[in-house]
């Protein structure tokens, strides 16, 4: 029995051929024995056999990876991060026709040993939970693997689960970039972002040039540059006044040339606003 237990570590083809060789020995067919041994040694040393073994191993690894990923995704979709999921409920989700939950026991044991899932037993009832760190990270890493792909038609639950998972993952959207005097700068895309930038620029100009809390609007506009359009700059700066963040004031600016006037703000029905004063 020990001999046959050792054979289990090898491929099925290899084991069958070993048994044929043994059969030839037992029949005392020396010529047949030598022929079989010689031919099989040549085959097992050939590149075709090694390629066969490599491809079979890779296929098995991918199939196991698919089964693990599908199991983790199902457990996550069933709320396994927050509550225990019954074995039967998980089985209904992942086990296809012709298979049983016991076929997944090796995978469940492996995931348990990795700390990806935890198993709870109460009497005959078995439940599973997905660990929020290891288990969820393992699921995400599997889905990012370039070699991973689903080997059958997706069920609705798989597609919907992937959508939900994708929506919960932080996705970094590349910022729009423009060139300002040869330097690439990020475009300001929202009022909230504009408020932060405008106040930072206001404080910097006020401190660097001792402007006594009256910062020329044209200087704020030029400092921000092409990160925001002229129209949005006007709209958002007026909105900051409406929100009592800045007060836009009239007044003559030293050396107030036409281009500086143009870079100030004209509010319909009122005088030209040339200064900004911070209120908060």
Split the chain (280 residues) into runs of 10 and give each run's mean pLDDT. Answer: 45 58 56 53 50 44 76 89 91 88 91 92 92 82 75 68 69 59 83 94 96 96 94 95 95 92 90 94
Q: According to the model, what pLDDT value does residue 86 have? A: 94
Name which of 121, 123, 114, 119 is nearest 75 in CA terms. Answer: 119
Q: According to the model, what pLDDT value does residue 131 have? A: 85
Question: How many residues make up the chain in this entry?
Answer: 280
Q: What angle do CA 218, 220, 224 make, to 5 degrees?
A: 115
Dist. CA 142–CA 107, nearest whole Å: 14
Q: Could you tell me the pTM of the whole model?
A: 0.41
Dist. CA 55–CA 42, nearest whole Å: 20
Q: According to the model, what pLDDT value does residue 201 have? A: 96
Buried b (16+ CB within 10 A) or exposed e, 191-209: eebbbebbbebbeebbeee
């Amino acid at each position: 029995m020990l001999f046959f237990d050792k054979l289990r570590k090898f491929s099925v083809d290899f084991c069958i051929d070993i048994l044929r060789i043994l059969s030839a020995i037992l029949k005392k067919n020396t010529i047949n024995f030598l022929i079989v041994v010689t031919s099989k040694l040549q085959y097992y040393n050939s590149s075709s056999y090694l390629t066969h073994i490599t491809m079979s191993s890779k296929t098995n690894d991918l199939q196991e990876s698919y089964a693990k990923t599908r199991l983790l995704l199902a457990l996550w979709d069933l709320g396994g991060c927050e509550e225990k999921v019954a074995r039967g409920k998980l089985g209904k989700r992942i086990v296809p026709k012709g298979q049983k939950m016991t076929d997944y026991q090796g995978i469940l044991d492996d995931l348990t040993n990795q700390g990806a899932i935890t198993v709870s037993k109460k009497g005959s009832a078995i439940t599973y939970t997905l660990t929020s760190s290891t288990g969820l990270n393992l699921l995400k890493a599997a889905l990012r693997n370039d070699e991973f792909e689903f080997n059958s038609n997706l069920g609705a639950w798989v597609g919907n689960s992937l959508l939900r998972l994708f929506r919960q993952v932080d996705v970094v959207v590349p910022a729009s970039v423009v060139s300002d005097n040869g330097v690439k700068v990020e475009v300001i895309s929202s009022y909230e972002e504009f408020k932060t930038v405008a106040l930072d620029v206001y404080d910097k100009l006020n401190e660097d040039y001792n402007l006594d809390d009256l910062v020329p609007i044209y200087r704020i506009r030029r400092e921000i540059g092409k990160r925001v359009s002229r129209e949005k700059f006007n709209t958002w700066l007026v909105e900051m006044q409406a929100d009592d963040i800045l007060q836009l004031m009239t007044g003559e600016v030293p050396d107030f040339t036409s281009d500086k006037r143009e870079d100030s703000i004209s509010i319909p029905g009122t005088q030209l606003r040339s200064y900004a004063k911070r209120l908060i």
